[in-house]
């Protein structure tokens, strides 16, 4: 999937060693080409050495950035933290005898995004909004991906777009190109429903409540559309394709669509 310049800019900045190697290489090249007015002969060993050294520094800087620009935290730390958060919510669900219906509410002027597990029969989205407004029985927590979505949106120039397909594609790219949570993610939109296929995600147990990838997709879409988004299903597509799963999302009609 092609990445836009804005999305690529969300990659983390080069480290100090990388910047130093690149800077020294560029300085060497600048010095070398400043001497271009002088004819170079085979005896100009110093200039040839400077050119070779500059090239080596530049290659080293690029290699250092590529090889260290992966996940900032060890995978075990990320997986353990996400699993612990999910188990906490699941314990609350068991204590209050609630289903694991999951609705992600968009941020407001005074509150960030929220994950709501509503109490009651009927449409989960309707119950989730009422639960927050009336403070009725429900579980309301901060989504695992709230911080990731906030940072992702801060650097996007097209965050105000209204097309759901556009936002789903951007979030899929965020999963792969920005946060390296999976090797591949692609989505389709049908009306007010989205299906996202994720492949190569090393964070296990995708069905666990508020898994980082479904959480990022649902929280990000809720924030982008400014509507509640229900995570209707997370289906493990493992078997021959390890670390693969599908995420199903839906959202209500907007004011202009009602």
Is residue 208 within 8 A of residue 224, CB to CB? The reply is no
Which stretches in the chain have pLDDT values below 70?
1-77, 120, 134-137, 157-162, 238-242, 254-258
Question: What phi and psi, each to the nearest 5 degrees, are found at residue 231?
Answer: -90, 95
pTM of the model: 0.69
Write down the domain spans for the chain.
5-68, 75-250
Q: What is the pLDDT of residue 1?
A: 42
At 195 the pLDDT is 97
Name 198's bridge partners: 185, 245
List pLDDT tens digits, range 154-193: 877 665 566 899 999 999 999 998 888 899 999 999 999 9
DSSP code for 36: G
What are the two backbone dihedrals, phi and then psi, of residue 43, each rounded to the nearest 5 degrees?
A: -90, -5
Looking at residue 51, what is its pLDDT?
A: 57
DSSP symbols for 61-116: HHHHHHHH-S-SS-HHHHHHHHHHHHHHHHHHHHHTT----EEEEPP-SS---EEE
User: What is the model's pLDDT at position 171?
Assistant: 95
Tokens 């068991």 found at = 94
CA distances from 184 to 11, 159, 171, 233, 236 (A): 17, 22, 12, 19, 15
Token look-up 């397909």 returns 165
Tell me if 217 sits within 8 A of 249, measured CB to CB: yes
Q: Which residues are CB-contacts of 234 (< 8 A; sequence separation ≥ 6)?
A: 206, 207, 211, 214, 245, 246, 247, 248
Question: How far is Cα of residue 5 from the mean position of the Cα atoms in its chain?
Answer: 16
CA atoms within 13 A on the CB side of 146: 15
Strand order, beta sheet including 229-236: 138-141, 114-118, 102-105, 229-236, 245-250, 193-199, 184-190
- Closest listed residue to residue 88, CA positions, set 156, 42, 141: 141
Q: First and final CA of the chain: distance in angstroms?
A: 33
Which of 183, 190, 157, 188 lies closest to 10 in space, CA to CA? 157
């Amino acid at each position: 999937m092609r990445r836009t310049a804005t999305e690529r800019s969300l990659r983390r900045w080069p480290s100090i060693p990388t910047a130093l190697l690149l800077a020294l290489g560029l300085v060497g090249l600048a010095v070398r080409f400043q001497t271009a007015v002088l004819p170079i002969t085979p005896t100009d060993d110093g200039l040839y050495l400077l050119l070779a050294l500059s090239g080596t520094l530049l290659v080293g800087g690029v290699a250092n950035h590529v090889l260290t620009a992966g996940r900032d935290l060890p995978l075990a730390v990320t997986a353990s933290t996400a699993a612990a958060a999910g188990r906490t919510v699941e314990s609350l669900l068991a204590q209050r005898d609630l289903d694991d219906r999951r609705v992600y509410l968009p941020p407001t002027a005074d509150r960030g995004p929220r994950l709501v597990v509503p109490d009651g029969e009927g449409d989960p989205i309707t119950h989730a909004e009422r639960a927050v407004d009336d403070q009725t029985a429900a579980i309301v927590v901060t989504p695992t991906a709230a911080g990731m979505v906030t940072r992702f949106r801060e650097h996007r120039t097209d965050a105000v777009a209204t097309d759901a397909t556009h936002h789903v594609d951007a979030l899929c790219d965020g999963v792969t190109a920005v946060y390296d949570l999976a090797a591949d993610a692609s989505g389709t939109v049908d009306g007010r429903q989205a299906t996202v296929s994720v492949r190569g995600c090393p964070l296990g147990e995708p069905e666990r409540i508020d898994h980082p990838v479904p959480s990022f997709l649902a929280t990000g879409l809720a924030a982008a559309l400014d509507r509640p988004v229900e995570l209707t299903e997370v289906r493990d597509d493992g078997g021959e394709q390890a670390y693969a799963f599908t995420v199903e999302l839906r959202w209500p009609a907007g004011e202009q669509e009602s």
